[in-house]
Chain A
């Protein structure tokens, strides 16, 4: 990065409503109602109802509209600069789910990037992650521990295919729990559709419908109805939100084998607590090596960490020579249905770090 002029007000500061850009008078992914919200992606802990106006990418808008109903949304294509007050804003692919963005904010030559949720590896569905150079990088670290490393997607998908085929061969219904925005479609887009029919829970199918309408190609699926059973759909793969894994409907599909696709399945203790028959390690967040690479690639001198093992990750970054701080956010705290990082609420030290003084200048 080139030298910047030193401004007195930080480009972004951290408030009890969310990440605030004073120059644009707007908040990034705020968790309390504000007038102007810049939204990274449609997951419930990032796109909340109640704001005056929303700005997100064109690709993220349909899902947000679907989830939040009649709210005022403006859109911007990836990479295009928008002037807002004294700030230049642009949205860059975060590779997390379709339409998900990192938000780049430039004020007086100083560049800050808020990552939202991101994953570096391509998933065959989301716009691939794009590194953005900046002076300060606000990075999530949901999986910011060296025990979290992911196998390449083809390896994991091959495991899922093998499992589904084995279930079908044994006369069992394969039921997989996957978050209804992102993970479900990622499984769908990459699974071997020749194995059998694919059924979807209504929450998953609703998102499929929205994504298909915006031109994202997904294989054919059938929404679960009360009339369907193992008899009508032998050898099926059923994709459901995690909370529906042990719901009453599964009785009609007996015998079933259940699986859960999430980065948390990397840990045996959590795999066993989830009590699904199988756990596939498939995450929409960056793993340990990718977090480290993304931070390095950003060229940032200052790193703010949110969402995850923040105090450990901060200490690690400091030992690597970064100027790092923790930002207390309310991402990943609520909305059990939302996504992978909501699961973090169940983990020690994921969401309970002592609050840092707000203000990036601190």
Chain B
């Protein structure tokens, strides 16, 4: 390895990270990289590791075709090899011959043509030599979005001719837009802290929000950011840990604040300089999807940051009459695709002038490209605030929760009663048993359970154990029969891991109702894979229809009617809780059991 170019260094980093499962070694490799890589490459690496990947500029079909051509192989063979490898970028890197053996697409371009013969390309796309850095390659890739197919083809071929196997793989990963390095943003920040001696929390804050790696330099982004540079910047989210022990172990309930755990989109509303920004937990700016949430923000003090949940909402005062009416509809008669779906009727929630709607409703607001007036009316949004992180421009995250909560309630009081923002109500009880009773109400409120937060907790960053706990309801579950199997991806590309499950209707016919692909160990997947091979009835491309014999316990968090699913039912967060090797298919649950669960859930 020459190791001289920035891109070679980056490919080497990729290999080091890929070669170890040790967190310490990963952080060390990254920290070393941040200490030695060209500054522009460091910015791009930070971008790649914080979900700011470049968009795909070439279709995978084009890549497959070009690779087959270069390797002198028929396309079908490349397509057969792909599912075995499980990754297109890797498949291509593995089949490409040494640069000197690459089959030339046009006879006029000899194998040893100097790179400069391809140098002049249209629309700003540039050809690059072996000394190019990561930043150069990414800028080239971005440029391809403006280029025509011929230029794209030339650029990709030229890259393949220039790069070695590992670099080709990394390049292919970048161009297919699916680049992952097995390092979380958290670890990356830790490594950056080790390399720069800047505290991790400060770095996390600097890297939040909207910045373009092509426009910002390492100095401005990391080393000396201008505090006024980005008014939109949210705070790193503090995430709760799943409570697995009984809550009694947390000590005196008086030390804890309980609130509903809503099933919406966790978000932050940032209001600074008279402008509002809404961020999702995935650090996506989603302001334009929720114009209704920002309507009355100017009533709040400038320099306010709220943490809370975005929910699809139904105002109680708008539908005051006869709430039980829809619940009385016979279950079988509920139309599967109503023009406007009747809102699921939920119990009235103390402290709220409206009701959260199922997540599927909210999905309409995020999946549609534009938010029409009709949609705003049909599915109004509401923000239930959990926390106050900044007030009048002051970062108050280190204050105890109880104090932040008091300030939150105080500023939200100034909003009118029909404002789209309100404080998420607290759940009051003096004992753990009392809270446990309340928690049983969660499903009826469209909540997933309770959140337990220590009164004195600061608003931390990331998932820090001890102060914040999710105390979720036990999942619903049903025993179902596996009827289709499909191979997984990446690490599990060679195992059957994606299954479709069915239950029997009254005639005994199996009705598929959900897919699930997680929850089992690799050892179990291996065993099932061997079984699938021997028990395949039919193949449809990558999917195999198998003998309906294996029974799995499917756990899920919610169940609702869905016109988009053939069965008319959609599960929320389905996964395999257990492989019921003790149960024959005849003892699995039935469609009638599933319908019972649905109606119980809708009560």
Q: Interface on A for B, CB 8 Å cutoff?
A: 145-149, 266-270, 272-273, 275, 277-278, 309, 312, 315-316, 319, 345-349, 351-352
Known pairs A146-B95, A346-B529, A347-B84; list 10 more (Cβ under 8 Å): A145-B84, A146-B77, A146-B81, A267-B84, A267-B90, A275-B21, A309-B80, A312-B77, A319-B74, A345-B530
Q: How far is the CA of A309 from the CA of B84 in the complex (A)?
A: 10
Question: Considering residues B84, B86, B95, which has the most beta carbons from chain A within 10 angstroms of its beta carbon?
Answer: B84
* Residue of chain B at shortest CB distance from A277: B20
Which residues of B from 85 to 125 have beta carbons under 8 Å from A? 85-87, 90-91, 94-95
Instruction: Write 25 A-B pairs (CB below 8 A) sorted by A numbering.
Output: A146-B78, A146-B94, A147-B84, A147-B91, A147-B94, A148-B94, A268-B18, A269-B85, A269-B86, A269-B490, A269-B491, A269-B492, A269-B493, A272-B18, A272-B490, A273-B494, A273-B495, A275-B21, A277-B19, A312-B77, A316-B74, A345-B530, A346-B529, A348-B84, A351-B533
B83 at the interface (CB under 8 A from A): yes
CB distance from A239 to the nearest CB of B (A): 20
Cα of A157 to Cα of B71 in the assembled complex, Å: 27
Q: Are B494 and A346 in contact (CB under 8 A)?
A: yes
What residues on A are CB-neighbors of B78 within 8 Å? 146
Tell me the smallest distance from the CB of B14 to a CB of chain A, in Å.
11
Known: A269-B491, A273-B491, A351-B533. A145 touches B74 (CB 8 A): no
Shortest beta-carbon distance, A291 to chain B, in Å? 13
A352's partner among B76, B526, B533 (CB-CB below 8 A) is B533
Report B-chain residues with C-beta under 8 Å of the C-beta of A275: 21
Q: Which of A148, A268, A316, A319 has the most chain B CB within a 10 Å cutoff? A: A268
Chain B positions within 8 Å of A348 at CB level? 83-84, 487, 494, 496
Cα distance A149–B165 in the bound complex, in angstroms = 12
Among A147, A269, A319, A346, point to the contact of B526 (Cβ < 8 A): A346
Q: Does B353 contact A (CB under 8 A)?
A: no
Residues of A within 8 Å of B83, CB to CB, are 348
B95: A residues at CB distance < 8 A:
146-147
Asked whether B327 is an interface residue with its Cβ less than 8 Å from the other chain, the reply is no
In the complex the two chains form, what is the Cα distance from A156 to B323 in whole Å? 73
* Cα A316 to Cα B71 with chains together (Å): 14
A270 close to B494 (CB less than 8 A): yes
The answer to whether A268 touches B77 (Cβ under 8 A) is no
Q: Are B491 and A272 in contact (CB under 8 A)?
A: yes
A275 to B19, CA, bound (A): 10
B241 close to A (CB within 8 Å): no
Whether B65 sits at the interface, judged by CB under 8 Å, is no
The 10 closest A-B CB pairs, nearest first, are A147-B94, A352-B533, A269-B493, A272-B491, A269-B86, A312-B80, A146-B95, A145-B81, A347-B494, A147-B81
Min CB–CB distance B111 → chain A (angstroms): 19
- Which residues of chain B come closer than 8 Å to A149, judged between CB atoms? 94
Which residues in B have their C-beta under 8 angstroms from that of A268?
18, 85, 87, 90
Complexed CA–CA distance, A145 and B71 (Å): 13
Say yes or no: is B522 at the interface (Cβ < 8 Å to chain A).
Answer: yes
A222 to chain B, nearest CB (A): 28
Q: How far is the CA of A230 from the CA of B529 in the complex (A)?
A: 38
With a cutoff of 8 Å between Cβ atoms, the chain A residues found around residue B85 in the complex are 147, 267-269
Q: Is B131 at the interface (CB under 8 A from chain A)?
A: no
CA gap between A145 and B20 in the complex, in Å: 27
State which size class the interface on B falls in.
35 or more
A148 to B73, CA, bound (A): 14
A150 to B400, CA, bound (A): 61
Choose among A309, A348, A352 the residue with the greatest number of B CB atoms under 10 Å from its CB: A348
Residue on A with the closest CB to B91? A147
B536 interfacial contact with A, CB 8 Å? yes
State whether A278 and B495 are in contact (beta carbons under 8 Å apart), knowing that A145-B84, A147-B84, A316-B77 are contacts in the complex. no
CA A149 to CA B533, docked complex, whole Å: 27
- Name the residue on B nearest A345 (C-beta): B530
Nearest CB in chain B: distance from A148 CB, A: 8
Q: Nearest Cβ distance between residue B492 and chain A, in whole angstroms?
A: 7
> In the complex, what's the smallest C-beta–C-beta distance from B83 to chain A, in angstroms?
7
Q: Indicate if the CB atoms of A145 and B19 lie closer than 8 Å.
A: no
Assembly CA distance A306 to B536 (angstroms): 21
Give B443-494 interface residues, CB cut-off 8 Å to A.
Answer: 487, 490-494
List, in ascending order, chain A residues with CB within 8 A of B491's CB: 269, 272-273
Contacts of B18 in A (CB 8 A): 268, 272
Report A-chain residues with C-beta under 8 Å of the C-beta of B493: 269
Q: CB-CB contacts of B190-213 with A at 8 A, as 1s and 0s? A: 000000000000000000000000
Kindly state the separation between the CA atoms of A312 and B73 in the bound complex, as whole angstroms.
13
B164 shortest CB reach to chain A, Å: 12
- Give Cα A352 to B487, complex, Å: 14
Whether B21 contacts A266 by the Cβ 8 Å rule is no
User: How many angstroms from the CA of A146 to the CA of B71 in the assembled complex?
Assistant: 9
Q: Report whether B492 and A273 are in contact in the complex, using a CB–CB cutoff of 8 Å.
A: yes
A contact residues around B529 at 8 Å (CB): 346
- Chain B residues with Cβ under 8 A from A148's Cβ? 94
Specify which chain B residues have a CB less than 8 angstroms from the CB of A266 in the assembled complex: 94
* B residues in contact with A145, CB < 8 Å: 77, 80-81, 84
- On chain B, the residues within 8 Å of A349 by CB distance are 84
| CB-CB nearest in chain B for A267 | B85
Q: How far is the CA of A170 from the CA of B18 in the complex (A)?
A: 20
Bound-state Cα–Cα, A268 to B181, Å:
12
In the complex, the chain A residue whose C-beta lies closest to that of B76 is A315
Pair B536/A352 contact, Cβ less than 8 Å: yes
B495 touches A346 (CB 8 A): yes
CB neighbours (8 Å) of B20 from chain A are 277
Within 8 A of A (CB), among B38-80: 71, 73-74, 76-78, 80
B-side contacts of A270, CB under 8 Å: 494
Q: Which residue of A lies closest to B97 (CB)?
A: A149
Cβ–Cβ < 8 Å partners of B492 in chain A: 269, 273
> Residue of B at shortest CB range from A273?
B491
Q: How far is the CA of A348 from the CA of B486 in the complex (A)?
A: 10
A34 to B130, CA, bound (A): 61
Distance from B152 Cβ to chain A, minimum over Cβ atoms (Å):
24
Residues of B within 8 Å of A346, CB to CB, are 494-495, 526, 529
Chain B contacts for A351, CB-based, 8 A: 533
Give the chain A neighbours of B494 by CB distance below 8 A.
Answer: 269-270, 273, 346-348
Known contacts A266-B94, A277-B20; decide if A146 and B530 are in contact (CB<8 Å): no
Q: How far is the CA of A266 from the CA of B78 in the complex (A)?
A: 16
In whole angstroms, how far apart are the Cα atoms of A275 and B182 in the complex? 14
Q: A268-B18, A270-B494 are in contact. Are A146 and B86 (CB under 8 A)?
A: no
Name B542's closest neighbour in chain A (CB-CB).
A348
Chain A contacts of B536 at CB under 8 A?
352
CA distance A270 to B496 in the complex (A): 14
Task: Tell me the smallest distance from the CB of A289 to a CB of chain B, in Å.
Answer: 10
CB-CB under 8 A from B71, the residues of chain A are 146
Query: B25 CB to closest chain A CB, in angstroms?
Result: 9
Expressed in whole angstroms, the Cα–Cα distance for A266 and B87 within the complex equals 13
Q: List which B18-39 residues lie within 8 A (CB) of chain A.
A: 18-21
Q: Determine the chain A residues whose CB is within 8 A of the CB of B487 once the complex forms.
A: 348
**B530-549 contact mask (Cβ, 8 Å, vs A): 1 or 0:** 10011010000000000000
Q: Is the CB of B533 within 8 A of A146?
A: no
Q: How far is the CA of A273 from the CA of B526 in the complex (A)?
A: 11
CB distance from A270 to the nearest CB of B (A): 6
